[in-house]
């Protein structure tokens, strides 16, 4: 299994009229910004690979499913080392 690290990332978020939060863009750095094509699921979950518990967003980004966590006011991903 591939080793991962917890990486906090800036995320552009949109709020709807009901106050629901939706991530729309993940920014790793200036050259690597990824639009979130679709939110497939949101649930409270633990990140088994790097630790941490929060709201886990299952996202479709560039045709692939990826997880994005919102934990204590910050966003993180389980990034490849």
Q: Nearest-5° angle of CA 37, CA 40, CA 36?
A: 20
Q: Which domain holds residue 38?
A: 4-80
**Structure confidence by residue, pLDDT tens digits, 52-67:** 999 999 999 999 999 9
Alpha carbons 30 and 58: distance in angstroms, whole number = 23
Q: How many CA atoms does the CB half-sphere of 17 hold within 13 Å?
A: 0
**Structure confidence by residue, pLDDT tens digits, 3-36:** 899 999 999 999 999 999 999 999 988 899 999 9
- Report the number of distinct structural domains present in the chain: 1
Helix locations, 3-58, DSSP H:
none
């Amino acid at each position: 299994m591939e080793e991962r690290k917890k990486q906090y990332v800036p995320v552009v978020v949109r709020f709807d009229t009901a106050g629901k939060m939706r991530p729309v863009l993940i920014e790793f750095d200036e050259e690597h910004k990824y639009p979130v094509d679709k939110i497939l699921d949101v649930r409270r979950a633990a990140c088994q690979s790097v630790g941490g518990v929060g709201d886990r967003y299952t996202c479709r980004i560039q045709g692939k499913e990826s997880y994005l966590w919102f934990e204590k006011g910050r966003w993180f991903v389980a990034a490849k080392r």
